[in-house]
Amino acid sequence: MKTVTGENNLLITWRPAFDGAELTRVETADTQVALPETLEGLPVTSLGHHAFAPDERMAEGGQIQITCGPAGGDPDTRKLEQITLPSTLRRVGDYAFYNCANLREVRLSEPVEHWGGSVFMNCGALDTFFIQARDERAESVSYFADELPGELDVTIEYPDGTPARLIFPGYLESYEENLPAHHFDYNIQGPGYPYHHVFRSRALFLKEYDRLWPTLLGMEHDPGCALRLAWHRLRQPRELTPEADGQYRTYLRGCAQDVLAWLLENRDSRGLAWFLPWAETDKETLRRACEQARSLETAEALALLLEEQHRRFPDGTDKCFAL
């Protein structure tokens, strides 16, 4: 077996494909994996059926051992948490990541021209994607949104270098047996279904995404999810219309206390500095945020909050800077 150095410890079974190399099986104990761009001088263009599935099975092809140092234990792809797919990849086979229960993040570059069936079946933790888009359509997003009904956090880097970060609220599908009618009733719960199906011919249209906002607020929804959705659209406002901008800002002003608590918990001082000037927070909200900043010992955030408190309510300002 040939051994080469790389970014991870991987045992790869592979075979030549018509346009490069196909990985028919990948075994690893690493939790974060970046697949190689080439094998034996061939671009890696295909990931085979069940390639990362942790069940024992035979795979066609020769083997290459890629090493970056001592292995971290016995191979078990159920421990895999993050995967970076090669930019050369064009096809992903059926059930490629079947039963990778801890997989939570996927990074890829378009175009991946074919996604097989149930690629992420039983990947219950998967909710985060980073996509280098080929063009304005960002077609890969449509596959993930259709495949995974849970809440998704998708960051898209467009060809012009500008990003968009989108939260897709989750929904639940269920079938309930209707005995008198001798059939099953199909039910959808949660506001996420239209977000996961906002695409036209697999293309993502950000203005259509933003038009769903009033519908989301009109349904029972997770306030934390709505907060994150509005926040990321405002922070990375690609194609954001003035109308949508106003709607998102109005919502965040209305839950300013929750926004400040979230920012402080995530130690996002840059976001705090952006939010405070237009948030119009009241005195009590600022006081509570200052107390939280002190308890978290976040000096930079506390300084920003005290400065805002002095700007808006100069009389009787709490002058304690102690953490």
Can you tell me the distance from the alpha carbon of 24 to that of 16, in angstroms, rounded to the nearest whole number?
Answer: 10
| Amino acid 188: pLDDT | 73
The full set of domain ranges for the chain reads 1-126, 256-323
Read off the pLDDT of residues 163-180 as tens digits, 9 standing for 90 and up. Answer: 999 999 999 876 676 667
Read off the pLDDT of residues 49-62 as tens digits, 9 standing for 90 and up. Answer: 999 999 867 788 99
User: pTM score, two decimals?
Assistant: 0.91
| Amino acid 173: pLDDT | 72
Alpha carbon distance, N-terminus to C-terminus of the chain: 59
Q: What is the DSSP string of 244-296?
A: HHHHHHHHHHHTHHHHHHHHHHTT-HHHHHHHHHHH---HHHHHHHHHHHHHH
- pLDDT band at residue 285 using 50, 70 and 90 as cut-offs: very high
Read off the pLDDT of residues 206-253 as tens digits, 9 standing for 90 and up. Answer: 999 999 999 999 999 999 999 999 999 999 999 999 999 999 999 999
pLDDT of 321 > 70? The answer is no
Closest CA to 38 of 4, 71, 77, 70: 4
Backbone angles phi, psi at 147, to 5 degrees: -75, -35
Give Cβ neighbours of residue 60 (< 8 Å, ≥ 6 apart): 13, 15, 24
**DSSP state at residue 310:** H
Fold that domain 1-126 belongs to in CATH: 3.80.10
Q: The tokens of 61 are what?
A: 């092809």
Q: What is the DSSP string of 165-215?
A: EEEE---EEEEEEETTTTEEEEEEESTTHHHHT--BTTB--HHHHHHTHHH
pLDDT of 187 > 80? The answer is no
Can you tell me the distance from the alpha carbon of 30 to that of 232, in angstroms, rounded to the nearest whole number?
Answer: 31
b or e along 47-78 (b: 16 or more beta carbons within 10 Å of the residue's beta carbon)?
bbbbbbbbeeeebebeebebeeeebeeebebe
Read off the pLDDT of residues 76-109 as tens digits, 9 standing for 90 and up. Answer: 999 999 999 999 999 999 999 999 999 999 999 9
| Amino acid 235: pLDDT | 98
Read off the pLDDT of residues 252-266 as tens digits, 9 standing for 90 and up. Answer: 999 999 999 999 999
Q: Are 199 and 142 in contact (CB under 8 A)?
A: yes
